[in-house]
Structure 1
Amino acid sequence: MSRVVCFSYERMFYPDDKLSGPGYRLWAIATSLTKKGHKVSIAELSHAKDYLKEGISFISWDSIRLKDIQKEFDVAIVPLSAYVWKYFYKIRRIPTLVDLTTPIAVESMAHSIGDSSDFFMHDGVIPTYLALSEGDYFVCSNEMQKHFYTGMLAMLGINTIKNNLIAVAPYAPEKKKPEAEKRKVLESAVGKDRKIMLWLGSLFSWYDYKTLIRAMKDISKAEPAACLVFAGGLNPHIRELTQNNYDEAVSEAKKLGLLGKNIFFIDWISPEDRLCAYEEAMFTVVTSYNTTESQLSYRTRVVDSLNSRVPVLCTDNDDLSKLISSKKMGAVIPVGDAESLIREALFLMKDRKTIERCSRNIEKEIQVGFNIEETIRPIHEFCSKPEKRTAEGCLDFREAIPAMKAKITDLEYIRDDKLATNETLARELAKYDQRFSQVLEDKVRSEEDLRAQIASLRDELSKQAEANLKMREFAGRFRGSIVFPMYRLTSTIGKTGFGRFFQKILK
Structure 2
Amino acid sequence: MNTDTRSAPTRVLVITGDVLGAKMAGPAIRAWEMSKALHASGCEVRLVSTQASTLTHDDFTVAEVDERALKGHVEWCEVLVFQGYTLSTFPWIRKSGAIIVSDIYDPMHLEYLEQGKDVSPRVRSKQTEYISEVLNVQLELADYLLCASEKQRDFWLGQLAAVSRINPLTYDRDPSLRSLIDIAPFGISNTPAAQTRHGIKDEVPGIAVDDEVILWGGGVYNWFDPLTLIRAVDKLVHTHPKLRLYFLGVKHPNPDVPEMRMAAETMQLADELGLTGTHVFFNTEWVDYDDRVNYLLDADIGVSTHFEHVETACSFRTRILDYLWAGLPIVSTDGDTFAELIRSHNLGEVVPPEDVDALAAAIERTLYAPDRAVMSDRVREFGQTMTWDRTLRNLTEFCAAPIMAGDRTRRSTPVRKEVLRAFGRLRHTIFWRRTENLRQLIRKIVPLR
Matching of residues 47-446 of structure 1 within 5 Å: 47-48=52-53, 52-69=56-73, 72-79=76-83, 81-90=84-93, 92-112=96-116, 113-114=119-120, 115-122=123-130, 124-159=131-166, 161-163=171-173, 164-185=179-200, 187-189=202-204, 190-192=206-208, 193-237=210-254, 241-266=258-283, 267-350=285-368, 354-367=371-384, 369-392=385-408, 398=415
Distance in structure 2 (CA, Å) of the matches to 1:236 and 1:7:
18
Separation in 2 of the partners of 1:251 and 1:343? 24
Amino acid at match of 2:223: W
Q: Is the 8 A contact 1:284 1:312 kept in 2?
A: yes
- Shift in Å, 1:37: 2.1
Structure 2 residue ranges without an equivalent (≥5): 1-8, 174-178, 420-449
C-alpha distance in structure 2 between counterparts of 1:240 and 1:152, whole Å: 26
Paired with 1:307 and 1:375, the residues of 2 have a C-alpha distance of 14
Distance 1:110 1:82, change over 3 A: farther
Q: Pick closer, same or farther for the CA change 1:374–1:272 going to 2, 3 Å.
A: closer
Bigger radius of gyration among the two: 1
Indicate the larger mover: 197-206 or 353-362: 353-362
Deviations 1:134-176 (A, max 9, x none): 1110011111111111111111111254443011121222343
Give the TM-score normalised by structure 1: 0.72
Q: Quick one: distance in 1 between partners of 2:407 and 2:114?
A: 34
Larger RCO (CA within 8 A; separation ≥ 6):
2
Shift of 1:359: 2.0
Q: Which residue of 1 aligns with 2:50?
A: 45
Measured after TM superposition, the shift of residue 399 of structure 1 is 8.3
Q: Say which SS state the counterpart of residue 165 (structure 2) adopts.
A: coil
* TM-score relative to the length of structure 2: 0.81
- Name the amino acid aligned to 2:14: C
How far did 1:323 drift? 0.7
Q: Which structure 1 residue ranges, 5 or more long, are not aligned?
A: 403-507
Cα distance between partner residues in 2 of 1:180 and 1:94: 42
Q: Could you tell me how far 1:331 is from its partner in structure 2?
A: 1.7
- Residues 236 and 360 in structure 2, CA contact (< 8 A), matched pair in contact too: yes
Amino acid paired to 1:85: S
Measure how far apart 1:222 and its partner are: 1.8
Q: In the superposition, relative to structure 1, how do residues 254 and 157 fare at CA in structure 2: closer, same or farther (>3 Å)? A: same
282-291 vs 40-49, which deviates more? Answer: 40-49
CA contact (8 A) 2:102 2:138 kept: yes
SS of the residue 1:198 aligns to: strand
| Distance in 2 separating the partners of 1:242 and 1:35 | 36
* 3-state SS of 2:312 partner: helix
Residue 197 (structure 1) shift? 0.6
Q: Which whole-Å CA distance do the structure 2 matches of 1:372 and 1:261 have between them? A: 37
Shift in Å at residue 241 of structure 1?
Answer: 4.5
1:66 alignment partner, SS class: helix
- Whether the 8 Å contact between 2:219 and 2:252 is mirrored in structure 1 is yes
Q: Kindly provide the amino acid, as one letter, of the partner of residue 226 in structure 1.
A: L
Q: How many residues align?
A: 394
Out of 321-330 and 389-398, give the one that drifted further.
Answer: 389-398
Distance of 2:202 and 2:46 partners within structure 1:
37
Q: Which has the higher helix share?
A: 1
Question: SS state of the match for residue 188, structure 1?
Answer: coil
Q: Conserved in 1, the CA contact under 8 Å of 2:198 and 2:298?
A: no
Secondary structure of 1:117 counterpart: helix
